[in-house]
């Protein structure tokens, strides 16, 4: 039951949750830290340590009850509710995200979409109409969006980040390849494809001979 939680622990919690969903579908009723570890590519001790940050959810000798632990993890991760999301940028990435199936399934509800292309403004995606970025503050406030997904080119990202934050957004998922400057109580998660690819090519290059 500690204070500051490592980022790596949080990511593993997401993983455990995914494994628990699978186990539930397979009809499992209880699960041991050992099995959770195997599915999550980690160790049993790590699983127990991760969970112990938040309380003790298991029964000695038995393991964890699948559906109960699933509920606990959802609560811990803050996804036992719906999050209203503003999608900023209706380009390729924006539209791919909007259509991403896992997305709506898990309590993330896109309540607003913005773009600055006059061609796109006014079109509707599902229930949502694409609005001009000029109306951003207004619409974010009206819809009560709490999260923003920034899927815009790098030069526009910083300004838009500031604006969504000032309109009340509490966290940002950022696809632009820059480090956003926002108040430090506003968490930002970066998704950088280029960075992932570079990590890959580094790993491959390292593996095959020091300097080829």
Binding partner selected for residue 207 from DNA, a second copy, none, CB under the kind-specific 5 to 8 Å limit? a second copy
In the complex, the residues that contact DNA under the rule CB under 7 A are 1, 4, 6-9, 32-34, 42-46, 48-49, 51-52, 56-64
State in angstroms the smallest separation of the CB of 19 from a second copy.
9
Using rule CB under 8 A, residue 44 touches a second copy: no
- Secondary structure (DSSP) of 165-182: HHTT--EEEE-SSS----
Q: Which two tokens stand for residue 169?
A: 């957004």
Is the CB of 62 or the CB of 203 nearer to a second copy?
203
State in angstroms the smallest separation of the CB of 204 from a second copy.
5
Is the CB of 61 or the CB of 183 nearer to a second copy?
183
Q: Which two tokens stand for residue 203?
A: 């790993």
167-194 b/e (C-beta count within 10 Å ≥ 16 → b): bebebbbbbbeeebebeeeeebeebeee
Task: Kindly identify the residues of this chain, within the stretch 172-211, that bind a second copy according to CB under 8 A.
Answer: 172-173, 177-179, 185, 187, 189, 191-208
- Rounded CA gap, 51 and 31, in Å? 14
Using rule CB under 8 A, residue 84 touches a second copy: no
Is 154:128 a contact under the CB 8 Å cutoff?
no
């Amino acid at each position: 039951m500690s204070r500051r939680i490592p980022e790596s622990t949080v990511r593993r919690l997401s993983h455990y949750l995914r494994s628990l969903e699978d186990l539930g579908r397979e009809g499992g009723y209880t699960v041991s830290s050992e099995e959770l570890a195997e599915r999550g590519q980690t160790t049993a001790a790590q699983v127990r340590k991760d969970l112990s940050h938040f309380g003790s959810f298991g029964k000695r000798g038995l393991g964890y009850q699948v559906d109960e632990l699933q509920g606990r993890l959802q609560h811990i991760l803050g996804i036992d509710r719906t999050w209203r999301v503003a999608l900023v940028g209706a380009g390729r990435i924006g539209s791919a995200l909007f259509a991403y199936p896992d997305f709506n399934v898990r309590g993330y509800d896109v309540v607003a979409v913005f773009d600055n292309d006059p061609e796109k403004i006014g079109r509707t995606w599902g229930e949502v109409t694409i609005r001009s970025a000029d109306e951003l503050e207004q619409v974010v406030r009206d819809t009560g969006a709490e999260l923003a997904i920034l899927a815009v080119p790098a030069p526009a990202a910083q300004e838009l980040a500031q604006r969504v934050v000032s309109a009340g957004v509490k966290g940002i998922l950022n696809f632009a390849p820059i480090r956003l400057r926002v108040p430090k109580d506003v968490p930002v998660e970066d998704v950088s494809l280029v960075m992932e690819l570079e990590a890959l090519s580094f790993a491959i290059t390292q593996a095959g001979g020091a300097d080829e």
